[in-house]
Amino acid sequence: MLKIKDLSVAVEGKQIIHDINMTIQTGETHVLFGPNGAGKSTLLMAIMGFPKYKVTRGSIHFKGKDITGLDVDERARLGIGMSFQRPPVVRGVTTRDMVSACLKGHGDGDAITKLAEKADLQEFLERDINYGFSGGEIKRSELMQLMAQRPELTLLDEPESGVDLVNIALIGELMNDLLEKDCPIADRRCMGLIITHTGHILDYVNARTGYVMCDGTIGCVGDPHEMLATIREKGYNECIKCYLGRMQLHEQK
Amino acid sequence: MSKSKTSKTYEDQAKAAVNKAAAYGEDIDIKDYVNPEEKYPYQEDPSKLEKKTKKDMLDAGIILDDPAQRSGTYLQMDSTPVHFSASQEGVEVMALSQALEKHDWLTDYLWKAVPIDSDKYTANVELNDNDGYFIRALKGQKTVYPVQACLYMAQVKAVQNVHNVIIAEEGSELHIITGCATASPDEPGLHIGVSEFFIKKGARVTFTMIHNWNPEIAVRPRTVTIVEEGGLFLSNYVLMKPVNSLQMYPTARCDGEQATVRYNSILTAGKGTNLDVGSRVLLNAKNARTEIISRAITIGGNIVARGYIEGNAPDVKGHLECRGLILGERGTIHAIPELKGDLAGIDLSHEAAVGKIAEEEVEYLMARGLTKDEATAAIVRGFLRVDIEGLPPMLHAELKKAVAASEKDLM
């Protein structure tokens, strides 16, 4: 289980998100909607524990443990994994090296080959990681690494952005594998939190709970498909209006 | 070396340059070092050398216990050639002094590539007791295993003057590994090595040099390579161990059409190490090609990483890549890539980057579960991973081993 309580995060001294509360039960996948600049990525980065993202208030508990003060690598080893939206190129470090590091000795060259076949990245294993990769290749490579890492909590930042229709089906397949969607929920050990701006990914991956983020906080919690229908029809402006309206209602009380 | 073989004019030219400082690097007073007095006995079987000496040489890539892995061996201690042999037909490996006795024509090659009056170091080699290796592949001969040469400094506070000549005759193929090492772990010394390479039409030479000096040694190599039509020169240089002062700017002249030169160098400088190292290629004939790649890491030392490509003929192409990594708080890397072209139809480019390890890359690897140290090590290892096109797999493996062995010291 992931439990986020009253979380506020600042980047370079500037408050970006505040008062976030969220609970993801084991086996569940939740979706974060929101306009650009709402603070969605900041929340993911803070859960992963990147040092630039400073928790100024609140706490993050994972598997019953307070991880608010842990380093990125400690969180990764505890079972949190993240797909990067714009991962850096690391010259001289090959895709194979990365997958091998993710496997942490729990698999050999054969395991790497199988993963590469699944992600359709056989030709990329000996290339420097992310060097000259297209948008879709980056997404697949990120998911392939996560499949080697097998995190219990998978954080996905816009897995569908910059991906064409052919690729998106494959990406959906990889995500379903990663989130154990073929298992009944009670048997799963994995959970997921997915950022999506457009919501396309919901056509491929099922999710149980959705959130709309705006202005650095969660404005709305509900059924993600219902939310998406509203957003598609009326846009985020309507969400913001609704959120602000309800804020006023709260304040009037 | 037999001075009678070289002309009087050489001596005069050298004398005129005895005080000529080099264009780059700290000026070294050669008088601070003595000429080595001791002569060493010739070793018929180099595997019988002292264990410690063999270990020093092995660290510089010189294998003496398994002759099957090499097609020839040359060993020199201070100014004495102590062993030379060739095990493959069509390959000559011997002391330059002996080669001059054997081949009358060889004097035509001396100081033909490297000007004798380049600076006081080249002059010093001519004017003092010196010897070096002569390696030659006969026309059309292709070696499979590399020829190895080791220049070993035994006497402390001495100057080692070396003059090497390498000739790859038409259509031949030659792989050379040279390793330099010192007996003392911390006594000063000066090594001056003049090397002249002649790569004839269609010949291919790979030259891999691994340096294993001590923190007090000063080194001034002077190397020029002349590549004829369709020839290939591929040079790899690895310096992972401390040295006091090293300045070199090996130069290759592509004088024949479609001549190709590649320089790869990996340099590391710890505290107290001063390196001024570059590679220079003159593309003097149509369709000549070059690629210069250097990787420099400082962990407290100073590195000037130079590179120079000059295009003097139509349709030449050259690329220079110079990347520096600053590990730790101190240390300087000064990258100076230079390109010069004075006619249309040439294609020269360069890229240079100096910096510390990108936090973003470290964090990316940490997000996959690597500790900060493991992530840093992986990035440094990646930085040093230079894929060398055209190097035989065996040499590639040895080069990788040499770099890997030193990575631990680096971290």
Is a pLDDT exceeding 60 seen at residue B3? no
Of the candidates B317, B342, B357, which is a domain's last residue?
B357
A248/B317: higher pLDDT: B317
Q: Are residues B41 and B128 in the same domain?
A: yes
Which residue among B358, B366, B385 places its CB closest to the CB of A92? B385
Fold entry, domain A2-86+150-252: Rossmann fold (3.40.50)
Contacts of A72 in chain B (CB under 8 A): 363, 366-367
Q: Are residues B399 and B286 in the same domain?
A: no
The arithmetic mean of pLDDT across residues B107-126, rounded, is: 96
> Which amino acid is located at A80 in the chain?
I
> Which residue range is the domain that position B388 belongs to?
358-411
Q: Are residues B86 and B164 in the same domain?
A: yes
Q: Are residues B308 and B368 in the same domain?
A: no
> Residue B170, Cβ neighbours under 10 Å: how many?
17
Of the candidates B337, B357, B377, which is a domain's last residue?
B357
Q: What percent of chain A shows pLDDT beyond 70? A: 96
Which residue among A71, A88, A101 places its CB closest to the CB of B358? A88
Contacts of B361 in chain A (CB under 8 A): 88, 90
- Structure token pair of residue A94: 């090959």
Q: Are residues B262 and B404 in the same domain?
A: no
Look-up of token digits 């060889």: B106
CB contact under 8 A, B367 and A81: yes
For the ranges A148-157, B104-113, B266-275, B323-332, the lowest mean pLDDT is seen at B323-332
Q: Are residues B118 and B178 in the same domain?
A: yes
Q: Are residues B399 and B370 in the same domain?
A: yes
Q: Are residues B38 and B147 in the same domain?
A: yes
Q: Are residues B362 and B338 in the same domain?
A: no
CB B79 within 8 A of CB B33: no
Domain ranges of chain A: 2-86+150-252
The residue length of chain B stands at: 411
pLDDT digits over A43-88, tens only? 999 999 999 999 999 999 999 999 999 999 999 999 999 999 899 9
pLDDT band at B29 (very low <50, low <70, confident <90, very high): very high
Q: Are residues B262 and B380 in the same domain?
A: no
Is a pLDDT exceeding 50 seen at residue B2? no
CA–CA distance from B105 to each of B5, B194, B362 (Å)? 10, 19, 58
CB contact under 8 A, B367 and A72: yes
pLDDT digits over A164-216, tens only? 888 888 999 999 989 888 888 788 889 999 998 888 888 888 888 999 998 89
How far does A105 lie from chain B, in Å, by closest CA?
A: 12
Q: Are residues B87 and B186 in the same domain?
A: yes
Q: Are residues B327 and B377 in the same domain?
A: no
Contacts of A76 in chain B (CB under 8 A): 366-369
Helix (H, G, I), strand (E, B) or coil at B316: coil
Helix (H, G, I), strand (E, B) or coil at B392: coil
Residue B33 confidence (pLDDT): 96
* Whether pTM exceeds 0.80: yes
DSSP secondary structure string for all residues of B281-303: EEE-STT-EEEEEEEEEEEB-EE
How many domains does the structure of chain B reveal?
2
Q: How many helices, marked H, and strands, marked E, lie in chain B?
A: 7, 20
